[in-house]
């Protein structure tokens, strides 16, 4: 019952081949209260850019801590402590017996009489629901249903918009970029594609994982859903009038934006609005509206694709 959705594992592979992401140089320099990050890179048309900005050390540290500390095992330990605390507060000599299985936490309670046992059981159920919700929110996750815990894409985008405003300003200062949202989206998309792709999965987390944007940029690595949310957080400032959604499919996640579609663009429909798909994962440099072979297969048959609005 407590399985983590693994939806973050595939790099972008374009049918027919494509230019690979080209990061020429990356530097990270410490300052008193922040980190200067500088990237030299090329877009799909081989144009070279230098993009530099500062992120606070606190934002990077908090993002790295969130990534490092989240796991299902850690969540179960946290919840077990809260259930024992709730039992102790209940008093009356009550006891709780906890066990952990593949389905999650199970417990029985002992109390002086059946009425007290029923009251304690309800209190522990309520405490479990609150504690799990708080733990997941602190790590930018949410429970989707009885079997899935995944990144809370909307909450993560909102939380990261402020820290990513420095990236939006840096991209906005780039010269010779067309004065259109499509041109701005294309620049931001290419910037995140050139950040090296890295699989963030491990056995402790029991599934795919999520590296929040400040840590992604400071560590110069990221996977598909981490990059999609980082790009969305930047676009909330860089192209603020645009609606955004994350699309998840088995083993992958992409972003989509409500730009006017051009010929050849892959699009999706959600609540009467059309969105153009953005493949942020890299390492292939896919222009706006172009997708990899895996994404194309799922977009053609949308039964296993889910759409998560961000704004």
Q: What is the pLDDT of residue 4?
A: 38
Q: What is the pLDDT of residue 32?
A: 85
Verify cis geometry, omega within 30 degrees of 0, for the bond prior to 283. Answer: yes
Residue 35 covered by a domain: yes
Mean pLDDT of 167-195: 96
Please tell me the total number of residues recorded for the chain in this structure: 311
Instruction: Tell me how far CA of residue 280 lies from CA of 9, 73, 289, in angstroms.
Output: 13, 30, 11
Indicate whether 190 and 221 sit together in one domain.
yes
CA–CA separation, 134 and 201 (whole Å): 23
Indicate whether 133 and 263 sit together in one domain.
no
pTM: 0.88
Indicate whether 231 and 294 sit together in one domain.
yes
**Residues 217, 54: contact at Cβ < 8 Å?**
no
Residue 2 has pLDDT above 70, yes or no: no
CA–CA separation, 99 and 181 (whole Å): 53
Residue 98 has pLDDT above 50, yes or no: yes
Indicate whether 185 and 292 sit together in one domain.
yes
Residue 8 has pLDDT above 60, yes or no: no
Residue 15 covered by a domain: no
Task: Look up the domain containing 121 and give its range.
Answer: 74-138
Indicate whether 122 and 105 sit together in one domain.
yes
- Which of 297, 270, 298, 294 has its CA nearest to residue 281? 294
Residue 147 covered by a domain: no
- Report the percentage of the chain scoring pLDDT > 90: 74
Per-residue pLDDT tens over the stretch 19-74: 666 899 999 999 888 999 999 999 988 899 999 999 999 999 999 998 888 888 88
Indicate whether 103 and 204 sit together in one domain.
no
Indicate whether 169 and 231 sit together in one domain.
yes
Indicate whether 191 and 257 sit together in one domain.
yes
Q: Which two tokens stand for residue 218?
A: 């400071």
Indicate whether 227 and 283 sit together in one domain.
yes
Residue 190 covered by a domain: yes
Burial of 111 (C-beta count, 10 Å sphere; 0-12/13-18/19+): buried
Indicate whether 26 and 97 sit together in one domain.
no
Q: What is the pLDDT of residue 14?
A: 53
Residue 7 has pLDDT above 50, yes or no: no
The residues pairing with 270 across neighbouring beta strands, listed in sequence order, are: 273
- Which of 254, 261, 257 has its CA nearest to residue 296? 254
Indicate whether 248 and 115 sit together in one domain.
no
Domain count, the chain: 2
Residue 14 covered by a domain: no
CATH number of the domain enclosing 214 = 3.10.620
Indicate whether 167 and 254 sit together in one domain.
yes
């Amino acid at each position: 019952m407590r399985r983590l959705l693994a939806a973050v594992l595939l790099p972008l592979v374009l049918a027919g081949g494509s230019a690979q992401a080209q990061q020429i140089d990356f530097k990270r320099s410490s300052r008193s209260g922040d980190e200067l990050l500088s990237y030299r890179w090329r877009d799909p048309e081989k144009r070279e850019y230098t993009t530099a900005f500062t992120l606070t050390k606190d934002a990077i540290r908090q993002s790295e801590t969130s990534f490092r500390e989240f796991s299902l095992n850690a969540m179960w330990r946290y919840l077990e402590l809260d259930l024992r605390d709730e039992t102790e507060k209940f008093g009356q000599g009550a006891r709780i017996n906890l066990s952990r299985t593949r389905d999650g936490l199970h417990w029985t309670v002992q109390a002086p009489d059946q009425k007290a046992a029923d009251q304690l059981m309800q209190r522990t159920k309520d405490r479990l629901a609150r504690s799990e919700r708080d733990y997941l929110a602190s790590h930018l996750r949410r429970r989707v249903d009885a079997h899935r815990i995944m990144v809370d894409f909307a909450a993560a985008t909102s939380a990261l918009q402020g820290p990513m405003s420095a990236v939006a300003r840096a991209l906005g200062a780039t010269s010779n970029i067309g004065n259109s949202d499509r041109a701005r989206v294309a620049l931001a998309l290419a910037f995140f594609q050139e950040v090296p792709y890295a699989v963030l999965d491990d056995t402790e987390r029991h599934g795919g994982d999520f590296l929040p944007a400040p840590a992604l940029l400071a560590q110069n690595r990221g996977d598909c859903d981490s990059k999609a949310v980082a790009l969305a957080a930047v676009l909330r400032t860089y192209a603020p009038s645009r609606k955004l959604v994350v699309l998840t499919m088995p083993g992958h996640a992409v972003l989509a934006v409500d730009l006017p579609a051009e010929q050849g663009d892959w699009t999706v429909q959600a609540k009467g609005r059309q969105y153009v798909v953005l493949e942020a994962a890299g390492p292939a440099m896919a222009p706006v509206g172009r997708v990899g072979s895996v994404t194309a297969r799922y977009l053609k048959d949308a039964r296993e694709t889910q759409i998560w609005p961000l704004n």
